[in-house]
Amino acid sequence: MRKKIVAGNWKMNNNLGETQVLISELKKQTQTTDAEVMIAPTFVNLYHSFELLRNSNIEVIAQNMHFAKNGAFTGEISADMLKSVGISTVILGHSERRAYFNETDETLAKKVDTAIANELRVIFCFGEELQDRRENNHFSLVESQIKNALFHLPEDAWKHIVLAYEPVWAIGTGETASPEQAQEMHAFIRKTIANKYGNSIAEDVTILYGGSCKPSNAKEIFSKEDVDGGLIGGAALNAEDFYAIVNAF
């Protein structure tokens, strides 16, 4: 059975004090669903966040990771470093990483391999730009992003993979994919996985939607058959909004 997940991607927001405040507000919220809840603070606050949330049902996850084991990669963070501070899930391939830090399908394939070799769970992000959708290339683009970074994986690696469809035109713009657009793409993604790996892996993989997901639209988006939760940016920076989304199933 696939899981419901709501993950908050804090991006480059919240210093130490702000992180402490937001976490204490998150701890006051109540949860009415069985969704897994995750937050991704900045690297420097991961360990402190992990300690603050040690006995809670909120998992602390990382926003990125390097593919190398260790070595001369100034400014980078390894899988082993993440694991050593209690992290077991990492977001890879976010569109901001692809757009501003030149992450390609090839580097992402390496990152995915390293994460899986270290038994980290991966939330793998992908999605089309507005231009791709206008030109009706969105399905083939998404298919190639998935194939290039994930289709070399053996079947048993898929238990470590969560997919996050994030149309770039909907991220931080206030514009959301309609529930129907999200469902149409999620069903296509599941079919793409089924064609390569069979129905059972395709049915079990969690597929999140991301892009201006908020309390006012989460319920309708999450009600769609192939949408298993959300990767939340802006709305994850407010505890009440975030939990309204967590409770939107």
Chain center to CA of 46: 16
Please state, in angstroms and as integers, the Cα–Cα distance from residue 249 to each residue in 60, 208, 225, following that order. Answer: 21, 13, 11
Output the smallest distance, CB 55 to ligand PGA, in A: 27
Interface segment toward ligand PGA; rule CB under 6 A; list 63-71, 75-83, 188-196, 225-233? 225-233
State which amino acid sits at residue 120: L
Output the smallest distance, CB 95 to ligand PGA, in A: 7
Annotated catalytic, 94? Answer: yes
Work out whether 231 is an interface residue with ligand PGA (CB under 6 A). Answer: yes
Please state, in angstroms and as integers, the Cα–Cα distance from residue 50 to each residue in 56, 168, 209, following that order. Answer: 10, 29, 25
User: Residues 132-171 vs ligand PGA: string with x where CB under 6 A?
Assistant: ----------------------------------x----x
Q: What is the DSSP string of 27-38?
A: HH----S--EEE
How far apart CA 171 and CA 167 sit, in angstroms, is 7
How far apart CA 189 and CA 198 sit, in angstroms, is 13
How far apart CA 54 and CA 147 sit, in angstroms, is 36
The residue from 9, 64, 192, 217 that contacts ligand PGA (CB under 6 A) is 9
Annotated catalytic, 48? Answer: no
Output the smallest distance, CB 149 to ligand PGA, in A: 17
C-beta closer to ligand PGA: residue 95 or 114? 95
Output the smallest distance, CB 236 to ligand PGA, in A: 7
Of the residues 66, 94, 138, 160, which is catalytic?
94
Positive or negative: CA dihedral 238, 89, 2, 133: positive
C-beta closer to ligand PGA: residue 45 or 63? 63
Output the smallest distance, CB 152 to ligand PGA, in A: 25
How far apart CA 247 and CA 215 sit, in angstroms, is 9
SS3 60: strand
Q: Which of residues 160-219 bind ligand PGA (CB under 6 A)?
A: 166, 171-172, 210-213
Active site residues: 94, 166
Q: Which residues bind ligand PGA (CB under 6 A)?
A: 9, 166, 171-172, 210-213, 231-235
